[in-house]
Amino acid sequence: MTTDVTTTVPARPSRAARIGRIAFLVVAGIAVVAVAVAFFVTWTIQRSFPHTEGSLELDGLQGTVTVQRDASGVPTISAGSSHDLFFAEGFVHAQDRFFEMDFRRHVTAGRVAEMFGESQAGTDAFLRTLGWRKVAEAEVAAMDDTTRGYYESYADGVNAYLDSHAGAELSLEYAVLGVQNPDYTPEPWEPADSVAWLKAMAWDLRGNIDDETERALLASELAAGGTDAAGTTALIEELYPAYPFDDNPVIVPKISALPTGTGAEPASARSAPDDGTGAEIVQATTSIEWEEASSVIEAAGILIGDMGEGIGSNSWVVSGSLTETGLPLLANDPHLGASLPSVWYQVQLRCTTVDEDCPFDLAGFSFSGLPGIVIGHNQKIAWGFTNLTTDVTDLYIERVQGDQYWRDGVLQPITESTETIEVAGGDDIELTIRSTVHGPIISGLTDDFTAIADDPAPGLAAGATPAPEGEQAEYAVSLRWTALDPGTAATAVFGLSTAQSFDEFRAAAALFDVPAQNLIYADTDGNIGYQTPGRLPIRGAGDGWMPQPGWDSSYDWTGFIPFEELPVAYNPGSGYIVTANNAIVTDDYDYFLSRDWDYGYRAARIAHMIERRAATAPLTADDMRDIQMDGEMWIGKRLASAMEDVDVSGAGPREAVDLLRTWDAQNSASSAAAAYANVLWSTLVRNVFADREQPLPIDSQSRLFTVVGALLDDPAAALWTNERIGVSSREEMLALSAEQAYDELVRLQGTTVSRWNWGDLHAITLTSDTFGSSGIPPIEALFNRGPFPVGGGASTVNATGWEIGNGFATTTVPSMRMVVDLSDFDASTWIHLTGASGHAFHQHYVDQTEDWAAGIQRPWAFSAAAVKRSTVDTLVLSPRE
């Protein structure tokens, strides 16, 4: 018997059904992978977040330390000894910012290639040649035992954190770095790692070396193009004019001898001085009374209305005679390159019992990697910094013959040393460092210095003696710079922190040699003051404006200006002191300081606003914060006036120019007129200077304000003619620039003029110094943030700088802002660019940025009661049993 068996074969799914099932499986698989990756990335990121609550036991502590953090993550550290205070500061800095600290110390030591490979070897060679690390080591060795102990305690605290954390536990960056350089492990922290960072800041604030280099190169280029020596000199002096003393203020315009005494009566309590000088100063030294000429204030208001795009700063202090509280207000906002994380770290350091052994009770802005506080206040005084902008660097043209160089007709041996640059994933590089009596030879390391050495004659200082002849002789460029000599700024930090009077403040300032800074002062007794500190050279035959002949010792530095002869002011009769990188003194001062000041537009505007507001009502902390955010654009007002009689072609350009007629000259983020004014300014500068057969430098907008301001007053000036773009008059240049500026803004923000805005055009993107510019978008996205719209601009008080010819994005910033109220420290306010944390994705990574951009400052608790009220996290550190 047979049985028929019928087999039922399932119908084949349709193509659509099969694709759908495959798609589901693929999506499900991707989802699983994505979730797994998300968990892994989140775990990797968060494992480095700091422990901020509860308790930790640490080896190396002598007693219990309390770390209270507020809603911004800002710590107040309270300890029973100086050792534990700085130990805990090192530990907390490492918690929040260790990768930044580690990267910085590799930069200052010329060891970046050890982390990031051969691409960084050239940078390392230059930094090794400068020798910052060796100078830092010498400074540590020369410290007194107490100060060195602070640095050692700090290093112990950093290392206590490293003892319990490694790799991605330290920071997300180490997880990424491990892909490229899996063998990298951070070394223990050393005191010299801290001190070396001050050298990096000195380089950031190095003075006129860039201008000196630029002038030397321009002289060579003009000579090569056929311009004679007289024409070259005239053009360079036109492009680098003298400081406008008649229009903008100097910080200390009149020096007077002071009677001997121990102090001064508070400015707010004094009657008018009897001598008619406008100042009552009691110090056993020279001092400066602020003598504000009416033309300065008139200039700020009359010039149809105010070095911020570069590195600089604003600071000012107002006495109680002008304030609502009857006690001083002090404001400060240093201008530095934008960085993520910010260069600043807010912290309060408090000894539980303030005495000789533990004298610290202060709050302010520190550098991660450096113990103590750099700018801030203690329980008695407040202080702030701006860059002094004195000339502390000189280039020397050396006449080199083999391994010798000429000096006063005699060949001297070049000093040589050899170092090894270790390269991650590559071969070591042997570096030979050569030096003369002036300093390290830096030509051959960068294109600009090498170009000067290749053709030095046109750029030499006027009147230089001829170079000696010699067989096979060649030229080199060496660098004389105050920061390459061991100094005492690393000690001065602690003197400022504990000063209780102007005398003690000045004693600390005398140690603050590099980087040279304007120091302003206020105290709770009502006094205000100013001190020029720094190791400021006394020059021989030259002034450092152009490279000097190294073969002639008469051009050498002959010493440094004695501290007691440096400008100082105390309780000026005007009731205020303003510093904004402007000229410190007039040219009749006994010593040469510089020809490369910021041109004073910010200083004039600040002084004008202080006087204008004080004339109507007593000044408040709100006034100080408003002044910090002022965005009046001096050159914008000049352009608006100049455009009134210029005919432009096209309805669109005419509509754009009309914006300037009603503009308040404020670079507000929402302003369409500000957007057009800045694009017009950029276009005009490029047309007048850069887009020529012989391009001219366009680096400093403060300088260009002065140069173009003079050109606008001189329709016949030769620079209005530019054959390359077919322009032969001022009116043609302005019209063409206005039309091109319209076209550029249309390209950037569209044809609707009313929708243009400066904030988006000028926005800042916060970029990590390392992986943020890696060229790998997914990695950059991990670390970078923004863009954030901002107002302000170049050489405005709210100095958000940008580079002409490279777009309009903000590149330099008021890195922090603070207003200290000497009547009640708890009423003070502060803010900085990013946040307390250096950990990407942490809640305090960039939580201050939007407030910073908007000009909002956060409360700054100082008293124990105020700190307690603001505390959200408390961590107790104790010795390990």
Q: Distances in Å between the alpha carbon of 687 and those of 257, 653, 695?
A: 50, 17, 10
How many of the other CB atoms lie within 10 Å of CB of 586? 13
Using the Cα atoms of residue 293, residue 313, residue 206 and residue 300 in order, give the sign of their dihedral. Answer: negative
Phi, psi (degrees; rounded to nearest 5) at 761: -65, -35
Q: How far apart are CA 221 and CA 774, in angstroms?
A: 35
**DSSP assignment letter at 240:** S
Exposed e or buried b for every residue in 468-481, given b needs 16+ CB within 10 A? beeeebebbbbbbb
Do the beta carbons of residue 118 and residue 425 sit within 8 Å?
yes
Half-sphere exposure of 764 (CA within 13 A, CB side): 30
Closest CA to 704 of 742, 736, 678, 740: 678
The pair of three-digit structure tokens given for residue 584, joined into one six-digit string:
């410190």
pLDDT recorded at residue 204 = 77
Do the beta carbons of residue 643 and residue 734 sit within 8 Å?
yes
pLDDT recorded at residue 187 = 97
Helices (H) and strands (E) in the chain, counts: 25, 31
| Distance of alpha carbon 504 from the chain centroid | 27
Q: Return all residues near 748 (Cβ < 8 A) that are at least 6 apart.
A: 761
Using the Cα atoms of residue 600, residue 601, residue 607 and residue 610 in order, give the sign of their dihedral. Answer: negative
Q: Tokens 């979730």 — which residue? A: 35
Q: Return all residues near 640 (Cβ < 8 A) that are at least 6 apart.
A: 304, 660, 661, 663, 665, 677
Residue count of the chain: 881
pLDDT recorded at residue 31 = 43
Q: Distances in Å between the alpha carbon of 134 and those of 138, 198, 429, 436?
A: 6, 13, 19, 17
pLDDT recorded at residue 255 = 53
Closest CA to 111 of 433, 421, 426: 421
Instruction: Map residue 696 onto helix, strand or coil.
Output: coil
Helix (H) or strand (E) holding 456: none
Do the beta carbons of residue 241 and residue 707 sit within 8 Å?
yes
How many of the other CB atoms lie within 10 Å of CB of 297? 17
Pairing of strands 393-401, 548-549: parallel
pLDDT recorded at residue 8 = 36
Do the beta carbons of residue 161 and residue 60 sit within 8 Å?
no
Mean pLDDT in runs of 10 for the chain (881 residues)?
37 42 40 45 80 96 98 98 98 98 96 94 94 97 98 98 94 92 95 94 82 94 93 95 94 55 37 32 26 25 32 91 98 95 97 97 98 98 94 95 95 97 95 98 94 91 82 90 95 98 96 93 97 94 94 96 95 94 93 93 96 97 98 97 95 97 97 98 98 92 96 97 96 98 98 97 95 90 97 96 96 97 98 98 98 98 98 97 83
| Distance of alpha carbon 615 from the chain centroid | 33
Q: How far apart are CA 87 and CA 99, in angstroms?
A: 18
How large is the greatest C-alpha to C-alpha distance in the chain, in angstroms? 140
Do the beta carbons of residue 840 and residue 782 sit within 8 Å?
yes
Tell me the sheet residues that pair with 624: none
| 861: amino acid identity, one letter | A
Please report the beta strands in 147-291, taking only residues with DSSP state E, as ranges in sequence order. Answer: 254-257, 286-289
Closest CA to 563 of 519, 532, 593: 532
Checking 177-180 for CB contacts under 8 A at 24+ apart, the result is 177/115, 180/116, 180/117, 180/424, 180/425
